[in-house]
Structure 1
Amino acid sequence: MLRPRIIPCLLIQDGGLVKTVKFKDPKYVGDPINAVKIFNEKEADELIVIDIDATANAVEPNYAQIAKLAAECRMPLCYGGGIRTAEQAKQIIALGVEKVAISSAAFENPQLISQIAAEIGRQSVVVVLDHKARLLSKQQDVWTHNGTRNTKRSVIEAAKEFEELGAGEIVLNSIENDGKMKGYDIELAIKLREAVRIPITILGGGGSLEDMRSVVAACGVVGVAAGSFFVFKGGYRAVLISYPSAQQKDDIIYSALRAR
């Protein structure tokens, strides 16, 4: 039986674990390897790791660090950042990573999705759609390069195209909600769930287990990801890595699915 997934998302900058707010002002919060060890102990469903500077600085993925993360990680691992060729994706999968995520490269060269899928399998190809509303409009455009470049493509339009090209999963990430911990963009998540057949993961704004339950209640079997919620505690945002217990996850999942 397919189940919703509760997924920590870790951002890496200069080798360290950071957190952002609306894609700005990265705050150092620790060593990513230590974070992986804790999520291992807490039996997280899956882990997403994104190098937020690799693409913006036009550098290759840090294969040495990816290898260390993959060797430590005991859950499915998705890595993104700096991937621009099918050969790079293949090399990352060979290190023990289950999925690779791309964003800007998918817009610059959409055929790359098909090329990567042919090399490593469609199920391992994730496209991240970072989005925010167009000025004076409700349309949600996809932005790349850490939210600095507007593709002027709508989320739904891009998701449909990338599914046809061979993407195996879409990660929907709200720039405006990033780090705010005030809830997800449920309305857009529902539209995306209705628009594509492949798995989707919703990211950006998660601040409570109730926020996650709301996504599952609205969309069914999806991934629900968060960053700040899993690494900060309390109003002063003290660093404390956490993850819901098995009982809490079951309560979130089953109560939400019953509500549908």
Structure 2
Amino acid sequence: MITKRIIPCLDVKMGRVVKGINFVGLKDVGDPVEIAKFYNDEGADELVFLDITASHEGRKTMLDVVERTANEVFIPLTVGGGISTIEDIKAILRAGADKTSINSAAIKNPKLISDGAELFGEQCIVVAIDGKMREDGSGWNVFINGGRIDTGIDAVTFAKEVAKRGAGEILLTSMDADGTKNGYDIDFLNTICSTVNIPVIASGGCGNMSHIRDVFKNTNSDAALAASIFHYKEAAISEVKKYLRENEIEVRI
């Protein structure tokens, strides 16, 4: 049986880890290198490092912070934010990342997905989809630039294209659930999971251990990404894994 992955997320702004609600109201949480090392030692399966204002500010990801973070962790590291070219992907991987996460650029230039997968391998290309329910409740639209711009593109249609173009996995964030601590968006996840045949990482809304259990019990998500509960020491990764094992969910101890 394939084990489920627990992935802490470091949202980084100006070299510091931050956390907000529905993509706004960001609070400083700490130094990314120290936090990454802590999660590595705690037993996280992977880490996601997102330079959340890079695309909006029109700059590249802070490679020095990525490099220092990569030097401290021995688990897969995914880095995203401000990646818009093949050269950017190459630079991130050279800095020590195992995977790159592309978001805004995947919408603006979908060919970057297929070109990246061909050059570096599908496993190196993660496409982050930030989705929000349309006001009429008919489905979800894809947002870019850290949740600031509604592309008007249907999330399900885009997820199909992403998979077809060779992305290794999808990091799916529900903007409606993000930071609310009310649980993952099960409907959104089920819709996307049933649409694609590549791994989906659930993101947005985790408030306690039961939410992680629920997302694995009620969806086909391959991994659960969380930030607040780990940053604020509301749950340790080892506790979460023990709890999941008790609930008959296979995880790596």
Q: What TM-score, normalized by structure 1, do the two folds share?
A: 0.91
What aligned pairs does 1:51-200 form with structure 2 within 5 A after superposition?
Answer: 51-200=51-200
Paired positions, count: 250
1:40 alignment counterpart: 40
Separation (CA, whole Å) in 2 of partners of 1:47 and 1:125: 15
1:14 alignment counterpart: 14
Give the secondary structure class of the aligned counterpart of 1:176.
Answer: coil
Give the C-alpha shift of residue 255 in structure 1: 2.4
Contact 2:183 2:206 in 1 (8 A): yes
Give the C-alpha shift of residue 20 in structure 1: 1.1
Give the secondary structure class of the aligned counterpart of 1:92.
Answer: helix
Give the secondary structure class of the aligned counterpart of 2:75.
Answer: coil
Give the C-alpha shift of residue 248 in structure 1: 4.1
1:235 alignment counterpart: none
Give the C-alpha shift of residue 152 in structure 1: 1.0
Post-superposition Cα deviations, 1:11-70, rounded to whole Å, max 9, x if no partner, equal 000001100110001101111111012112201111111001111111012111111111
Runs of 4+ in 1 over 3 A off after TM superposition: none
Q: Structure 2: which 5+ residue stretches go unaligned?
A: none
1:249 alignment counterpart: 241
Q: What TM-score, normalized by structure 2, do the two folds share?
A: 0.94
Post-superposition Cα deviations, 1:225-260, rounded to whole Å, max 9, x if no partner, equal 11111112xxxxxxx375321x641541562559xx
Amino acid at match of 1:99: K
Contact 2:202 2:221 in 1 (8 A): no
Give the C-alpha shift of residue 116 in structure 1: 0.9
Contact 1:39 1:243 in 2 (8 A): no
Separation (CA, whole Å) in 1 of partners of 2:211 and 2:49: 21
Give the secondary structure class of the aligned counterpart of 2:59.
Answer: coil
Give the C-alpha shift of residue 220 in structure 1: 3.7
Contact 2:22 2:176 in 1 (8 A): yes
Separation (CA, whole Å) in 2 of partners of 1:172 and 1:88: 22
| 212 and 256 in structure 1: CA distance in 2 versus 1, 3 angstrom threshold | farther
Give the secondary structure class of the aligned counterpart of 1:195.
Answer: coil
Which one is further off, 47-56 or 129-138?
129-138
Post-superposition Cα deviations, 1:140-172, rounded to whole Å, max 9, x if no partner, equal 111011111111112111100011111110011
Give the C-alpha shift of residue 136 in structure 1: 2.7
Give the C-alpha shift of residue 210 in structure 1: 0.7
Contact 1:8 1:227 in 2 (8 A): yes
